[in-house]
Chain A
Amino acid sequence: MNALLRVTDLSVTYGRVRRGVTVAPTVCGVSFELSAGAAIGIVGESGSGKSTTARALVGLLPYGGTVELDGALLPLPRSREQRRRIQMVFQDPTSSLNPSIRCDRAVMQVLGARFSTAEDRRRRAYELLERVRLPGRLFGAWPSELSGGQRQRVAIARALATEPQVLIADEATSALDVSVQATILELLNELRASTGIGVVFISHDLTVVRATCSQVLVMRHGVVVEQGDVERVYTAPRDEYTRELIAAVPSIRVLSQTHEVDTGALPTPPRWVLAESA
């Protein structure tokens, strides 16, 4: 079966290589395959190397090992065209957009040579902004006028403008409110289904990965300690650390498990709900 993205033995070492000095790699031995339209998650705590892996995949960092896209090996350094095929959406909405460029122009600047006239470019930019469901009145707005969620939408539109085959979301929803995050996740799912784009989802939030991905890699200290089908890893983890990680994830399901002893000990005031107007 032909994977859209095949990563073999990816490793990243920070710092300049000096003679006679062996530096432990920051990331080592990451391998996985991603099919078109699928989503794979990379989870881990801080310092696990997941962001480093993301940046290496995209070519922003030098790496060892191989990255193949659509069967073809991606060399280092990447050519302009090759760079455009794997795009990334970053974590911080405040620095993901250039504050001195309007949103529509930010998308227009990135469009390919296919769109030769200014008219074409504008039309395509508007198409993409509509696709990510940005309100029309904000198309010409400055980034500072948008909320965090809206900025991430523009960042996604900009990433889509290069017509990439793989999109890497590096904690792309971590700084957003939960309801906004839900809509962005829904958007990513919809894009996968409609364009066949593959998504690599980096997150410290295991529940987000479970909600969107079919496969998961668990990283710790730069190595992959477990990987596989998301449901299998979450319900029957084999690695000690993975088990610890999953056990630590808070869940609202704990509420259906506790017995009512508590309410007996602490007589509580009655329930109250604000009346809603029709």
Chain B
Amino acid sequence: MSADVLLRLDGISIRLPDPHEPALVDGVTLDVARGECLGLVGESGSGKSLLLRSIIGLVPPPLSAAGEVLWSDVPGAPLLAMDRRAARGRDVSMIFQEPMRSLNPSKRVSWTLAEPLRMRRGLHGVALRERIISLLEDVGIDDPHRIARSYPHELSGGLQQRVMIAAALSTDPDLLLCDEPTTALDVTTQARIIDLLKELQRSRGLSLVFVSHDLAVISEIADRVAVLNGGTLLEVGTAREVILDPRHSYTRMLVSSIPEQLSAGTTTDPTEAHP
């Protein structure tokens, strides 16, 4: 096994303060290779979002996280303990389900994008403006100047999501964490955002951890898939392996429940029986 591992989660457990309560995430160990997209699949209560947040230390109190998160700085570098707070926004960025929540509604898009660039890259004036425009272009926005001047509420859900992705990419991270970023979007917008993320993965060698409850979406974007249930990791493999040939009974149940599988010859229209 010689995958160039970028991130390793080693025995991550997330618990409530009460020791009698079952763990919300129980001893999960996962690797993310450089340049790959790892899909985290599970239903509600599986702990997938919590696991994602533990990578950058965003586990909300009173919950506490245990276990190690290891990071490899450059290709070939050994895996070392990651300073999660420092990595936030620098090596690792995150995008969320509802872009309106992470975009400051009283600030124009340009301000939201400018802030981290000013602080982390020390950009000002013309250089800053140009970088903002180029970021917006990178995420497929056709009219970057107009969008930069706009407020979040003036934009459609898809555009808001693109802006959030642009903000996440502004510091050139190696890893992008995605917490159900397309769940609240229309199906056509969702397809375009998925295409955008795949393109970014390909062109920048960006690694992704993509959380979703939707197996179809995961199929479109993930290279490898990890299945979670009740905080426990059940199965890991390539997307094709896990989804088309599931081994764990839970995964099999999950795959057979998706509507695509349901329609395979089971729709009954009683009126068809009698003329």
With a 10 A CB-CB cut-off, give which of A178, A204, A262 has the most chain B CB atoms.
A178
A252 contact set on B, CB distance < 8 A: 215-216, 219, 243-244, 255, 258, 260
A192 contact set on B, CB distance < 8 A: 268, 270
A262 contact set on B, CB distance < 8 A: 223
- Return the chain B residue nearest A250 by Cβ: B216
Shortest Cβ gap from A7 to chain B (Å): 18
Shortest Cβ gap from A77 to chain B (Å): 31
Q: Given that A248-B191, A271-B237 are contacting pairs, would A266 and B3 also be in contact in the complex, using a CB cutoff of 8 Å? A: yes
Chain A, 211-256, CB within 8 A of any chain B CB = 211-214, 230, 244-245, 247-256
B249 within 8 A of A: yes
By the criterion CB–CB under 8 Å, are B258 and A178 in contact?
Answer: yes
Shortest Cβ gap from A121 to chain B (Å): 30
Q: Which listed residue (A177, A211, A245, A276) contacts B262, Cβ 8 A?
A: A211
B254 within 8 A of A: yes
From B81-89, B92-100, B101-109, B182-190, give the one contacting chain A. Answer: B182-190
From A32-40, A64-72, A151-159, give the one contacting chain B. Answer: A32-40
- Return the chain A residue nearest B1 by Cβ: A269
By the criterion CB–CB under 8 Å, are A177 and B258 in contact?
Answer: no
A83 within 8 A of B: no
Shortest Cβ gap from A94 to chain B (Å): 13
Shortest Cβ gap from B247 to chain A (Å): 4
Q: Given that A250-B191, A250-B214 are contacting pairs, would A179 and B253 also be in contact in the complex, using a CB cutoff of 8 Å? A: yes
By the criterion CB–CB under 8 Å, are B224 and A268 in contact?
Answer: yes
By the criterion CB–CB under 8 Å, are A210 and B253 in contact?
Answer: no
By the criterion CB–CB under 8 Å, are A272 and B237 in contact?
Answer: yes
Q: Given that A37-B270, A213-B267 are contacting pairs, would A45 and B35 also be in contact in the complex, using a CB cutoff of 8 Å? A: no
A274 within 8 A of B: yes
By the criterion CB–CB under 8 Å, are B271 and A177 in contact?
Answer: no
Digit string of B156-168 for contact with A (CB within 8 Å is 1, else 0)? 0000000000000
A204 contact set on B, CB distance < 8 A: 186-187
B179 within 8 A of A: no
Shortest Cβ gap from A144 to chain B (Å): 16
B43 within 8 A of A: yes
- Return the chain B residue nearest A248 by Cβ: B191
Digit string of B229-259 for contact with A (CB within 8 Å is 1, else 0)? 0001111111111011001110001111111
CA distance A32 to B215 in the complex (A): 33
Chain A, 171-228, CB within 8 A of any chain B CB = 177-179, 181-182, 185, 189, 192-193, 196, 204-208, 210-214
B36 within 8 A of A: yes
Q: Given that A245-B187, A248-B190 are contacting pairs, would A207 and B236 also be in contact in the complex, using a CB cutoff of 8 Å? A: no
A45 contact set on B, CB distance < 8 A: 186-188
By the criterion CB–CB under 8 Å, are A178 and B219 in contact?
Answer: no
Chain B, 1-32, CB within 8 A of any chain A CB = 1-3, 31
By the criterion CB–CB under 8 Å, are A267 and B1 in contact?
Answer: yes
By the criterion CB–CB under 8 Å, are A268 and B187 in contact?
Answer: no
CA distance A38 to B274 in the complex (A): 12
By the criterion CB–CB under 8 Å, are B238 and A207 in contact?
Answer: no
Q: Which listed residue (B213, B219, B266) contacts A255, Cβ 8 A?
A: B219
B73 within 8 A of A: no
B258 contact set on A, CB distance < 8 A: 178, 182, 207, 252
Enumerate the 4 nearest inter-chain pairs by beta-carbon distance, A residue then B residue, closest first: A37-B270, A248-B191, A211-B263, A207-B259
Could you pull out 7 A-B pairs where Cβ atoms are within 8 angstroms? A35-B271, A37-B270, A177-B43, A245-B187, A251-B216, A266-B223, A269-B3
